[in-house]
Amino acid sequence: KEFWKQLAWPDIIGSYNLVVKLIDCICSGAVYYAQLTQQKLQDTGYYEDSAPFRMSDEMCVAMNDLEYVRRTLSLLPDELQVEAVLDAVRAAGDLSTQWRDNIQGLLDSATHQLHSDISLIINRIGVKMRPALKKAMFHLAWSPDSLPTSDAISPLLEYLDSHLIALNAALLPRNFERVLSLVWDTCVTEL
């Protein structure tokens, strides 16, 4: 953003190629960062560990960092004034949509990759939580009628409280919503 402002390219139509190259470099860097983040989690054993779910700083930081990068990519068109460049190209007589499609394709591809990497981390949370949730849901579903509902649901609520409170404190709101949705789906599936 700062580079582009300081560059202050005088020919707005001619700046299209520079904008595309800049967006391509930023998107490539974002995807590379996501790969490094995934590799770091892989190296720490996050994906191989079959132990029950335990929140880790590495997992939360990785997920939050990828979300920050994804958000930054979504702001890129405004920060680089892409619409002004595309309007100038269109005003020069080129009504082709390939200009917009090219830029949007770069951004969509990188954003999709970041979202996939975030989902990969979140899905692993579901895999690790599933056995404990399955057990709690089984006890809830098969508890005797004589047992008060509050006692039957207590193990599930205690498990969810202990983990969701910690995740809510450590994750960005959007990432916590994603985790919460996964936990909900897991609970419903295990009913």
The CA-atom distances, in angstroms, between 68 and each of 1, 33, 51, 61, 174 are 16, 12, 29, 10, 10
| Distance, CA of 191 to CA of 185 (rounded, Å) | 10
What is the residue whose two structure tokens read 């996964």?
A: 182
pLDDT, one tens digit for every residue, the chain (191 residues): 677 677 776 677 777 888 899 999 999 999 999 999 999 999 998 988 777 888 889 999 999 999 999 999 999 999 888 888 888 888 887 766 788 899 999 999 999 999 999 999 999 999 999 999 999 988 888 887 778 888 888 989 999 999 999 999 999 999 999 999 999 999 888 87
Q: What share of the chain is helix, strand, coil (3-state, %, to 5)?
A: 80, 0, 20
User: Residue 145 is which amino acid?
Assistant: D
Q: What is the pLDDT of residue 10?
A: 66
Reported pTM: 0.86
Token pair in block for residue 114? 């970041």
Q: What is the pLDDT of residue 173?
A: 97
Q: What is the pLDDT of residue 1?
A: 65
Q: What is the pLDDT of residue 161?
A: 94
Q: What is the pLDDT of residue 85?
A: 84
Answer left, alpha or beta for residue 99, where phi above 0 means left and psi between -120 and 50 means alpha. alpha
